[in-house]
Structure 1
Amino acid sequence: MKIGYGFNAAMTARPGMGERLAELLLTGLDEGNPAASEHCLVYLVSRSASDPDVVHVTEGWTSEEEHHRLFAGQAAQDLVERVQELVAAQSPYTDYVPVGGKAAF
């Protein structure tokens, strides 16, 4: 499958909650959650090297429509609500159309 839609988001957790925020975002990969879908081809959660309360998420999806469809579901809405409880500030959200690259974990 090819990535047709993606985005980067950076979130600033409440003081001292960066690790918890990153752990919570990683549950998005659990069965039944959006990132576990075959339509989510990239789901990368990272923490800033200079500020442990800043967490970055990079996602790549087969299409924007699939991303929106999955995030309209109850599991995604529950996850978003729990994430918002830990977030102090939302940084810019950047969407994009990938043209190539490499990912290996």
Structure 2
Amino acid sequence: MIASYGFNATLTAAPGKGADLLALLLSGLDEGSPGASEHCVVYLVSRSASDPDVVHVTEGWTSEEDHHRIFAGEAAQAIVARIGGLLAKEAEYTDYVPVRGRAAF
């Protein structure tokens, strides 16, 4: 599948909560979670090299509509509900239209 919609998010956890935030975001790859959807073609969670409380998420989706539909579901909303309590400030998002790339994990 090809991604036609995506975004990067930078999330800053409350001091000392970076590992909890990272674990929660990685749970998005579990069966039944958003990152495991066939419509999610990229779900990359990274930690800042200089600040363990800063986490970056890159997502690529088959379409913006698929992303919104999946994130309206119960599994995604459960993750989203827990994220807020871990953050020191509001997440920063940058949306994009993927052009070409490669991912091998």
Structure 1 stretches of 5 or more lacking a match?
none
Q: What is the aligned partner in structure 2 of residue 87 from structure 1?
A: 87
The CA deviation string for residues 36-57 of structure 1, in whole angstroms up to 9 with x for no partner, is 1000000000010111100000
**CA distance, structure 1, for counterparts of residue 25 and residue 48 of structure 2:** 15
**CA distance, structure 1, for counterparts of residue 57 and residue 101 of structure 2:** 17
Q: Quick check: 1:6 aligned with 2:6?
A: yes
C-alpha contact 1:10 1:90 (8 A) present in aligned 2: no
CA RMSD across the alignment: 0.8
What TM-score do the two structures reach when normalised by structure 2?
0.96
Structure 2 stretches of 5 or more lacking a match?
none
Q: Aligned residues: percent identity?
A: 70
- The size of the alignment, in residue pairs, is 105
**CA distance, structure 2, for counterparts of residue 58 and residue 86 of structure 1:** 19
Q: What is the aligned partner in structure 2 of residue 27 from structure 1?
A: 27
What TM-score do the two structures reach when normalised by structure 1?
0.96
The list of structure 1 runs, each at least 4 consecutive aligned residues, that deviate by more than 6 angstroms after superposition, is none
